Structure 1
Amino acid sequence: MSSAAQLANDIPISMISADLAVGRKRLGSVWNGVIPGIVLVAMITGMAFSAHNVSGFALFSPMIFAVVAGLIYSNVLGTPAHAKAGIAFSQKRLLRFAIVLLGFQLTLGQVVSIGAGGVGIVALTLGATFVFTITLGRLIGVDAKLAQLIAAGTSICGASAIVATNIVTDARDEDVTYAVASITLFGTVAMLGFPLLAPVLGLDQHAFGLWAGASIHEVAQVIGAGFQNGAQSGEIATVAKLTRVALLAPMVIALGLMARRKSNGDRPSDQSGARPPMPWFVAAFIAVVALNSLVAVPAEVKSAMAFATTIMLTMGLAAMGLQANISQLRSRGLRPLALASCAFLFIGCFSLMLVKFA
C-alpha cells in the first residue's frame, strides 16, 4: 500500500466530516451575511443601467435611477433582513474603491492644460461655493451634515463627491439620498440651460467650456453641456471638471480634520487620545492620479476603469436607496432643496463672473 493511501486510512472519518461541516458553515455564513444583499443591489443596478439606455432617459446618470429604484423597493416591499450586510458592504466598501478608481480619469497634465488662470477659477469657485453653502445652510436651519453633502455635491463633482464626503461626515442615508436628488435636479437644469445662455452672455467656446466645467455638478452633465457648444468647448469643460474632481481629495482631508477637531473637542479629556482615522481612499486616489500621470495607461484599461467606477458608484447609491426612509426624507422639508437651489445659482453666477472679468 502506498504511503498516501496509508495516510488516508490513518485519518479518522469523523475528522473529515468535521472539516466539511466547518467549510459548509463558513460558506453558509458568507451567503447569509453578504451575498444576498450584493445580489439585490446588483439587480437594482442592472435595472438602473437599463433605464439609462431607454430613449429619452440617457441624459440621466444610472446613479439617480439606482437610488430612486432602491428607495421605492425598500419603502414598498421592504428590505430583507438577511440582505442588510451585503447592502452595507456595497454602500461602504464599493464606494471607497469607486472613488479610488476615479483617479484613472485624471492626469496632472490635463490640469496644466487649462492654464493657471483656469485652475484658479476652478479652485476659487469651489472654495467660495462650499463656504457659501455651509454658511447659508446654518442661517436657514439646515442640518450641518446635510448642508455639507449639498455643498460638496454642488462645488465638486455631484454624487461622487457626496458619497466621498459622507464617508467623513457619516450623515444619515436619507440625507445622502436627498442631496443626490437635489444635485441631480439642478445639474440637469444647468446641462440643458447653460448652452442656451452662451450666445446671450457672449461666451466663446473657450470661455463657455471653462464656465461649464467650473459650475455644472456631474461629470456627465458637464460633457453633455460642453459638447453642445462645440468640440473645443467640450474638451475644455471636461478638463476643468476633472480639475474639480482632483480637488476632491484636499476637500475630504479638510473635512476629516474638521471632524477630528470637533470630535476631540467634544470628547472628555481622558479620552482625547482616540482619534477618528483619516480615510485611506483619499491617499489611494492621489496615488492613482500620480500613476496615471507618470505611466501611459492604455486607453482600454482607462475605459474599463471608468465603467467599473460607474458600476460601483451606482451599486453604492442603490444600497443607500435601499436603506432610506421616505417618511424621514419628507421630514427634511423644503429648506435643503432651497439651499441646493441657492448653491446652484451661486456657483453659476460666481464662476461666470470670474470667467468674464478675471
Structure 2
Amino acid sequence: MKAKVISYGLLLVVTVIAYLIGNQFPLIGHSFAAIVLGMIVANTGLNRLYDARQMKKVSSLMLKVGVVLLGFTLSFDLLSTTALRAVPIILSVITGAFVTAFVVGKKLGVSVKSRWLIGAGTAICGGSAIAAVAPIIEADEDDLTYAISTIFIYNLLALVLFPILARVFGLSDIAYGVFAGTAINDTSSVVAAGYQFSPLAGDTATLVKMVRTLMIVPTSLVAIYWRWQQEGKAQKASYSLAKIFPTFILFFIIAIVIANVFALPSTFTDSVKQLSRLALTFALAAVGMSVSFSELKKAGLKTIQLGGVTWSVVIVISLVMTQWLFG
C-alpha cells in the first residue's frame, strides 16, 4: 500500500508540474513536458520508489480515458471532412510499412516474427499493435522486447522531428494533425506531438489515429491466416476477436455521437476538454516514468535499423499524400 501511495504521489507531482509548464510555455506543451519529466524521474534513481510495470498500466488506462473524454468535444464534421479523408493515407502507410518491413528485414537477416512486429508497430499503433499480433504469431520474448523498444525510440524522436517537418513544409493545423496521426507510431506520441503543435492539430491527430488503430483488426486477421498457413490447415490457429478489437475506440465513437446528437452545454464540453487534457497529461507522465534507457539499449541493432527504414518510408508516404490531399 505504501509503495502505491508513493508511486501515485510521484506521478501526480510530475503531472501537475508538466501541466503548469504547458500552461506557462505553450510551445513546449503539457504532453511533451509530461513525457520528458517522467523520463527524468525514471532515469535518475527515483525509479526505485515505484514499479515501472504499474506505470505502464496506469498510462494505458488514462490514455484511453483521455481519448474517450475527448470524443465529447469533437464534431462529425471533423470526422467526415478529415479523418475519413485520411483513410487512403492510412491504407498506403500500412501497405508501405509491411512491404518495407518484410523486404528490408529479410535483407538484414531479421526473423520473420520480428518483421511482423516491426511492421505492425510502425504501420498501425506501436505497442498496442505489437501486443495484439505477438500472441497470434507466437513471437519470442526477445522479439517482443526488441520491437517495443525500437518503436519507442522512434516515438521519442517523433516529438522533436515532426514539428520541425511541419514548419519546413508549411503544414496547416489540419494537415499536421493528419500527418502526425498517420505517421507517428504510438497513440501517446501522436497525442503529444499533435497538441504540442496546436489544439486543432491535436484533436485532428487523435481522431485520425483512432481510425488508423482500427486497422488492428484486419491486420490481426491476416496474421491469423499466416500462422494457419505456417502450421498447416490441420492445426488451424484460433484467436479471439475480443482480444484484437480496441474496445475503448467504441466508447470514443459513442462519445462523439452523444456530443453531436445532443446539444451539450458549453460549460460541460469545456470542463470535459480540460479533464481530457489532464488525463492525457497524466497518461504521458506515466509513459515517461516507465521508460528505462538501459532497457532501450537492449534493442538489437538490426531491429533498430529495420524500424528506422520502415518508419522513414511511412513518413515519406504520409507527408506526400497529406500535402496532396490536405495541402
Same fold by TM (over 0.5)?
A: yes
Residues 52, 280 of structure 1: CA spacing in aligned structure 2 closer, same or farther, 3 A cutoff?
A: same
Q: Report the equivalent of 1:279.
A: 246
Query: Would the alpha carbon gap of residues 352 and 66 (structure 1) be closer, same or farther in structure 2, given more than 3 Å must change?
Result: same
CA contact (8 A) 1:119 1:240 kept: yes
Matched, 1:75 2:57: no
Letter in 1 for 2:291: A
Q: Name the structure 1 match of 2:140.
A: none
2:255 aligned with 1:288 = yes
Is contact 1:106-1:246 (8 Å) kept? no
Provide, for residues 253-283 of structure 1, a one-character-per-residue CA deviation record: whole Å limited to 9, x for no partner. 3345456656777899789566362332122
Distance 2:177 2:14 in 1: 30
Q: Is 1:190 matched with 2:165?
A: yes
Residues 97, 310 of structure 2: 8 Å contact kept: yes
Instruction: Quote the residue 1:322 is aligned against.
Output: 289
Are 2:311 and 1:344 equivalent residues in the alignment? no
Counterpart check, 1:145 vs 2:113 = no
User: Helix, strand or coil: the match of 2:39?
Assistant: helix
Letter in 1 for 2:33: F
Task: Measure how far apart 1:90 and its partner are.
Answer: 0.9
Matched, 1:35 2:5: yes
What's the counterpart of residue 311 of structure 1?
Answer: 278
Matched AA of 1:150: T
Aligned with residue 179 of structure 2, among 186, 193, 215? 215
Alpha-carbon spacing, 1:240–1:69, altered in 2? closer, same or farther (3 Å): closer
- Give 2:165's aligned amino acid: A
Q: Which one-letter code corresponds to 1:250 in the other structure?
A: L
CA distance in 2, matches of 1:263, 1:97: 33
Change (3 A) 1:120 1:41: closer
CA contact (8 A) 1:226 1:238 kept: yes
Alpha-carbon distance change, 272 to 72 in structure 1, aligned in 2, over 3 angstroms: same
CA contact (8 A) 1:35 1:86 kept: no
Matched, 1:51 2:21: yes
| Superposition CA RMSD, Å | 3.9
- Bigger Rg, which one: 1
Q: Cα distance 1:284–1:40, how it changes in 2: closer, same or farther (>3 A)?
A: same
Query: Helix, strand or coil: the match of 1:324?
Result: coil
Per-residue deviation, 1:220: 7.5
CA distance in 1 between counterparts of 2:260 and 2:127 reads 25
Cα offset for 1:291?
1.6
Structure 1, unmatched stretches of 5+, are 1-30, 153-160, 199-207, 228-233
Question: Over residues 127-168 of structure 1, what are the superposed CA-to-partner deviations in whole Å (9 max), with x where a residue is unaligned?
Answer: 11222123223333384434433333xxxxxxxx54654664
Please state whether the residue corresponding to 1:328 is helix, strand or coil. Answer: helix
Q: Distance in 2 between matches of 1:39 and 1:243?
A: 31
1:111 to 79, 92, 95: 79
Alignment of 1:122-201 (within 5 A): 122-141=86-105, 143=114, 144-152=116-124, 162=126, 165=129, 168=132, 172=145, 174-175=149-150, 177-195=152-170
Among all aligned residue pairs of Structure 1 and Structure 2, give the percentage whose two residues are the same amino acid: 15
TM-score between the two structures when normalised by the length of structure 2: 0.70
| Code of the aligned partner of 1:307 | Q
CA deviation map 1:96-119 (0-9, x unaligned): 32232232242324334x3xxx66
Q: List runs of 5+ in structure 2 lacking aligned partners.
A: 135-143, 182-189
Q: Distance in 2 between matches of 1:240 and 1:315?
A: 20
Cα displacement string for residues 289-313 of structure 1 (whole angstroms, at most 9, x for unaligned residues) = 2222212222332233233233333
Judge which range, 82-91 or 120-129, deviates more. 82-91
Q: 1:87 aligns with which of 55, 60, 80?
A: 55
Partner of 1:25: none
Q: CA deviation at 1:246?
A: 4.9
Aligned residues: 293
* Alignment CA distance shift 1:74-1:315 (3 Å): same
| Higher RCO (CA 8 Å, separation ≥ 6 residues) | 2
Contact kept? 2:31, 2:196, Cα under 8 Å: no
Are residues 89 and 243 of structure 1, via their aligned partners in 2, closer, same or farther at CA, if it must alter by over 3 Å?
closer
**Shift of residue 181 of structure 1?**
0.8
